[in-house]
Amino acid sequence: MPEWLLVGAAVGLVAVLVGLWFGGNTPAQLWGTAGGGAGIALRQGDGGSPRMGQKKPFERLPQDVNPTNYALRLQPDLEKFKFTGKEVISVQVQKATDKVVMNSVDITIATATFRAENSTKGKDMATSNIQFNKENETVTLSFPSALPTGAGELTLEFEGELNDKMKGFYRSKYTSPDGQDRFCAVTQFEATDARRAFPCWDEPARKATFDVTLVVPKDRVALSNMNVVEEKPVPSRDDLREVRYAQTPIMSTYLLAFVVGEYDYVEGKDADGVLVRVYTPVGKKEQGKFALEVAVKTLPFYKEYFKIPYPLPKIDLIAIADFAAGAMENWGLVTYRETALLIDPENSSSHAKQWVALVVGHELAHQWFGNLVTMEWWTHLWLNEGFASWIEYLCVDFCLPEYDIWTQFVSTDYTGALKLDALTNSHPIEVPVGHPDEVDEIFDTISYSKGASVIRMLHDFIGDEDFRKGMNLYLTKFMYKNTFTEDLWASLGEASGKPVDKIMSTWTKQMGFPVLEVSAKQEGTSRVLKIKQSKFCAEGPSEDDSSLWMVPVSISTSQSPSTAVKTLLLDQRETTVTIDNVNPDDWVKLNPGTVGFYRTQYSKDMLDRLLPAIKDQSLPPRDRLGIQNDLFALAKSGVASTVDILRVMEAFVNESNYTVWSDLSANIGSLSTLLSGADCYPNFKLFVQDLFKVVGEKLGWEPKDGEGHLDAMLRSIVLSHLGKYGHQATIAEANQRLGDHISGTRTLPADLRGPVYATVLRHGDEKTYEKMLEILRKADLHEEKVRILRSLGSVSQPELIQRVLEFALSSEVRSQDTVFVIGGATSSLKGRELAWKFVQDRWDELHTRYQGGFLLARLVQFSTSGFVEESRAREVEEFFKRHPAPAAERTVQQSCENIRLNAAWLARDAASISEYLSTRPKL
């Protein structure tokens, strides 16, 4: 998701590091087909195979036996890291068969029996013919004769491991208040890991109800999706109790959850009386209050928006110490990384607070969109994630309007999606998914951020009133059922009377997006625009592209900067539009608010009229941001000059908006990566110092009266850049303030810690590094630990960078954070070289740790995508030919493409950039 806070060398690294440091969106990223032997009719877009390499053959589970209810009893052992289980599954046998095929991984089934509903007592049919297929993650129970059609019960007894892989039913290590190492048992089932906890039909369309019973230590908290209906002692064990929960609604297996551990909580009720609890580590309940406030406001907001009440009697939000993703929307029991849920009033930054609000909004939206109505197969994952990634902003804008969160959407989700989707190795929003190995790859920026961006565009096109009506139609019609993308379009089309399906299929079923070339001529008091669409490619214009989109286009003018004076649907290659009442000196702009998912390439005279409006800030912030970002992308693709974008950046010297600076900073990071090995890099650093000095002097180090949330975030980003690029006064002040912080003379405010830590480390020595390790080891708040961990890689000396990389794999760093410590080391040229070598040298260990999860793809991205030499692209390709990583295959291709794009960019513009930087007048 979402979301993104670190200042790093490369924009891609910045975005992903920031998002995942503070939680990341929900984990689900899978892609597979709805074909095979499932007996389910394919809808358009569900068939076929991905465009990448050869994928494993895959069939969905047979439909001859279907579950309707699981009575599930589990007993985790928190000392031996095992669990035992028994389940009685109510099934419907659709046709007589002697085989039952289910999903199961790393589970040993001891007994399996079947009883038909009408059979006499003692007529149970047992089997010991139990065959596991590890490749397909299935188990086949072969019975001595055919199971009769109709209702029956399948009873299984089994045992499994509480693994340390952060998936399935797993163990998480934490430290008790008295300093003891303890373990809790938690779950992470999305996308296909419920099968690691109990044999089941682990596909989203195979919905059932669940009756969960947990046998747990008496002194542990035990949670599941529903409320507790009975607790009683275990007769043979004084130290255990049995906890039974109410039956769940009909739902998918990936949404089931249970947690057993030590927790405190804070609680409240929303306006409708729904019990809301936020569970925290023991002794830290105060850190759950902010998330509780947001959640209590959010549930009624969604009820009003969807016109459907939250359907469960309670909802728990719980912080998990070891958690691979940012959060997971289990129905009624939402699990989070600590950094995505806990806020310390004294030690949490403004950005951390904002991140918690967004993630809470995202996960609670899923309680309706995803849980109540669920995608039929992982091909339609984007329905869950894209929608939740859009509406989380709507929710936070309602709860915390001072965050100006929609402007931030443009600099995080929108521009990040445009950048990735311009690559040859992007993919459509809807990606055919088959084997479980494939699923993790599509938990990516396209499913989340492009999905959110095209929904935002559609919402703007049909209007909020009709959008709400359509959402209510959709959720009401498919309540407790499964859907395809086309079902959503049909409901929104019915509510709005507009051809939603035709428009949106051009955005979800084909890869990429358009660039609109626009030129203008004055005719009296009118401006006549010629608009032409073509596919935007990161490598430059394509001569033979036949892609065509149905593009909602809005147009504003200097007389109406915030409101469109003209709207149209561009459904052909080009068109001509006349705008009345425009003076010769007025500017005309496409895409006010930067809502349409496209780039705009203006003629020189149109752009020249817009630039003064950037400098005097008469253009709204989202439009200033959009113009700069489009120009940067055009320069990177070779359509415009990089020198021109440097000149445009100088027009932002008086900029006051946090989000505009955030986006500028990301693009400066990309230029820094490009130029870090070039002779002109010292002059580039001076250019960046000049760009940030004016706003830095205005802000200073201390908050002023009347400052708010966004000023604190802007100060952080400005000081980070001044420190990184060598501004001596900033470096000196950072060292002074860290010294005061360590000595206890003056505590560093949370918003300043990130920039101070990174600045001091970058310009420090081994003693500085040891000081930071000491602060890390004393820190109690996980957010503070993460803040330091992500800063450690800022060190400059090769021997210290190597120490950071080794430290990343030490027992002092949780597995969930290791990838980002390594990524932090790539903020310098030497760091990128050492990090890539380290990943190659330790590949077996890293691959074993992260195999089959999306963190592996992040590791590949961080360690490879920042290079700028063709030889490095070949080196990366050769390494992954020798060391295949199916879960990161697309990421490898994207990284190599980015390396080659960087190499071409540097070769094309290095000389002109160098000349400009050496001769430019000082700001």
The per-residue DSSP string of 579-643 comes to E-S--TT--EEESTTS-SSSEEEE-HHHHHHHHHHHHTT-S-HHHHHHHHHHHHHHHHTTSS-HH
Whether 363 is catalytic is yes
Residues 708-729 have pLDDT tens digits of 899 999 999 999 999 999 999 9
Q: Does residue 516 have a pLDDT over 50? A: yes
Please tell me the number of Cα atoms within 13 Å of 742 on its side-chain side. 17
The answer on whether 366 is annotated among ligand-binding residues is yes
Q: What residue has token string 């139990």?
A: 130
Residues 6+ apart with CB under 8 A from 637: 422, 536, 537, 538, 539, 540, 541
Spatial distance between the Cα atoms of 385 and 406, rounded to a whole number of angstroms: 18
Q: Which two tokens stand for residue 683?
A: 């002059």
Q: Is the pLDDT score of 508 beyond 60?
A: yes
Strand order in the sheet with 314-320: 264-269, 275-280, 314-320, 333-337, 327-328
**225 in Cβ contact with 210 (< 8 Å):** yes
What is the distance between the alpha carbons of residues 557 and 632, in angstroms, rounded to a whole number?
23
Band of residue 33 on the pLDDT scale cut at 50, 70, 90: very low
The predicted model gives 224-235 an average pLDDT of 96
Residue 437 has pLDDT above 80, yes or no: no
The predicted pLDDT at position 441 comes to 67
Q: What distance in Å separates the CA atoms of residue 433 and residue 439, rounded to the nearest whole number?
A: 7
Contact 246, 209 (CB under 8 A): no
pLDDT level of residue 22 (50, 70, 90 thresholds): very low
pLDDT exceeds 80 at position 689: yes
d(CA 358, CA 405): 9
- Would you state the pLDDT for residue 592? 96
**Is pLDDT above 80 for 434?**
no
Q: What tens digit of pLDDT does each residue of 838-860 get?
A: 999 999 999 998 886 678 889 99
Confidence of residue 391 (pLDDT cuts 50, 70, 90): very high
Query: How many angstroms separate the CA atoms of 490 and 485, rounded?
Result: 9
Q: Is the pLDDT assigned to residue 80 strictly greater than 90? A: yes
The amino acid occupying position 737 is R
Question: Average pLDDT, stretch 471-482?
Answer: 97
Q: At residue 808, what is the residue type?
A: A
Average pLDDT over residues 170-188: 91
Mean pLDDT score across all residues of the chain = 90
Q: Which pLDDT score is estimated for 546? A: 83
Cα of 659 vs its chain's centroid, Å: 19
Q: Cis omega (within 30 of 0) on the bond before 712?
A: no
| 436 pLDDT tier (thresholds 50, 70, 90) | low
Which secondary structure element, helix H or strand E, spans residue 239, and what is its range? strand 237-245
Quote the Cα angle for 184-186-191, to 5°: 160
Kindly tell me if the per-residue pLDDT of 45 is higher than 60.
Answer: no
For residues 4 and 15, the answer to whether their CB atoms sit within 8 Å is yes
Task: Kindly tell me if the per-residue pLDDT of 36 is higher than 60.
Answer: no
pLDDT of residue 17: 36
* pLDDT above 80: residue 545: no
523 is in an annotated binding site: no
Tell me the three-class secondary structure of 515-567, residue by residue.
EEEEEEEEECCEEEEEEEEEECCCCCCCCCCCCCCCEEEEEEECCECCCCCEE
Q: Which of 242, 363, 441, 897 is catalytic?
A: 363
Strand, coil or helix: what is 864?
helix
Q: pLDDT value at position 382?
A: 86
**Residues whose CB is less than 8 angstroms from the CB of residue 423 and which lie 6 or more positions away in sequence, other chains included:** 538, 894, 897, 898
pTM, entire model: 0.89
Query: What size, in residues, is the chain?
Result: 923
CA angle 136, 138, 140 (to 5 degrees): 130
Return the pLDDT at 888: 87
Q: Is the pLDDT of residue 447 over 60?
A: yes
The pLDDT > 70 percentage for the chain reads 93
741 has binding-site annotation: no
Taking a C-beta distance cutoff of 8 angstroms, is the pair 108, 161 a contact? Answer: no
What one-letter code names the amino acid at 74? L
- Around 343, how many Cα atoms within 13 Å sit in the side-chain half-sphere? 20
Q: What is the pLDDT of residue 651?
A: 87
Rounded Cα gap, residues 477 and 483, in angstroms: 10
pLDDT at 2 (0 to 100): 29
pLDDT at position 495 over 50? yes
Q: What is the pLDDT of residues 765-808, one digit of tens each?
A: 999 999 999 999 999 888 999 999 999 999 999 999 999 999 99
Strand partners, 535: 514
Q: Residue 314 belongs to what H/E stretch?
A: strand 314-320
Whether residue 224 contacts residue 245, with contact meaning beta carbons closer than 8 Å, is answered with: yes
pLDDT over threshold 80, residue 328: yes
